[in-house]
Amino acid sequence: MSSKRPPLDEIVALQAAVAANRYILDHLLTESAHRSYLFPDMSSNIDLTCTFTSGAIDSFGAWAEITDSGATTLSSIAAAHALHISALRIRSTDTADKLYVIEIGYGPDAGSVTVIDPHEFGSGTKHIDSDEQVRFRAPEIPQGQNVYYRMKTEDTLNATANIELRYHYD
């Protein structure tokens, strides 16, 4: 009985397919089970906050880097790692009974932002009971990109929302 070996090019193609599938499986595993981090990093300083400010009435404000009250930017973390933002929690707002819309994005500068996820929520009587933690399934923020937000609020100029982000990286 003779055993015929497959041609070398078939072996190479099979190895490449296995490697590609392994990368996908590893990535999916990381997405389903990973160590999450908070921004701002309240585990190191419970008093840190992150405040988003809206623009003109019913209009988005300019893109601004996501920065905590200690002057740490989320971009500084993205400089070292490709990030996945997995949740946003609304801690408080300064204006009751209004609708808010937040967009989060990334880019090399505020003039070239790719939006990864919008989020809307209500305050006061327009608030829907929940823990106000929204889970994102946003695409990865590539390493080295700046991370931005912009926000708008109905009928209110310069409204603010204190937020917390949950993120992870590979």
**What is the pLDDT at residue 125?**
76
Cβ count within 10 A of residue 119: 17
Q: State pLDDT tens for residues 98-113.
A: 999 999 999 999 999 9
Q: What domains can you pick out in the chain, each with its CATH number?
A: 37-169 (2.60.120)
Higher per-residue confidence, 77 vs 127? 77
Q: Lowest mean pLDDT of 54-63, 67-76, 125-134, name the range.
A: 125-134
Query: Is the Cβ–Cβ distance between 106 and 146 less than 8 Å?
Result: yes
Q: State pLDDT tens for residues 2-54.
A: 567 777 788 888 888 878 777 777 766 666 767 889 999 988 888 999 999 99
Q: Where are the beta strands (DSSP E) in the chain?
A: 37-39, 51-53, 64-65, 83-93, 99-107, 114-122, 133-135, 146-153, 160-169
Query: Is the Cβ–Cβ distance between 117 and 138 less than 8 Å?
Result: yes
Query: Is the Cβ–Cβ distance between 141 and 66 less than 8 Å?
Result: no
